[in-house]
Amino acid sequence: MSTTPETKVAEQLTNLMESQWFNSSFFGRYMADQPYYTIDRTMEMITQMISYIARRASHEESNERTSDGLRLAVELDSAIKAIRELETFDNLRLPKTSTDLSPKPERVAGANRSWVKDRYDIISQASIDPVL
């Protein structure tokens, strides 16, 4: 079974962080000293992680389990959502919110499938208008 490069890096990072000798401040400082493109990808990764951990926190709370990291992720996730309402980021792909998702197409009243009506409208217009 082949694993993606992302999976390999995530596994290595997880294994390193479980060690008592892992220095998170050095790791953060090293990542902050990278070029702008790498910093943007790093921030995308961090916001994705915060989003997924915040979702996990809501699940864990229903099982009456939590940690400081889970509670912090919930607060950071709400802060990121608030910032997204105020700022527009051109070079970052931040996690999608419910307002970012495109609305579902409206269904035609009385029809089970809206595409059937649309297809017949196109065919009937083509037969009326010889230019098409």
pLDDT in tens, 73-100: 999 999 999 998 888 888 888 877 666 6
Between 114 and 38, the more confident residue is 38
Residues 72 and 15 in one domain: yes
31-46 average pLDDT score: 93
What's the pTM?
Answer: 0.68
Owning domain of residue 42: 5-86
How many C-alpha atoms does 21 have within 13 Å on its Cβ side? 0
**Predicted local confidence at residue 61, as pLDDT:** 80
Please give the single-letter amino acid code of residue 114.
S
Distance CA 19, CA 105 (A): 50
Report the residue count for the chain: 132
The pLDDT value recorded for residue 36 is 92
For the segment 92-115, the average pLDDT, to the nearest whole number, is 63
- The residue that leads in pLDDT, 1 or 19, is 19
Q: 80 with 36, same domain?
A: yes
Number of domains in the chain: 2
The pLDDT value given to residue 30:
95
> Are both 42 and 77 inside the same structural domain?
yes
Q: What mean pLDDT, rounded, does the chain reach?
A: 80
| pLDDT of the residue at 125 | 57
Residue 38 lies in a domain: yes
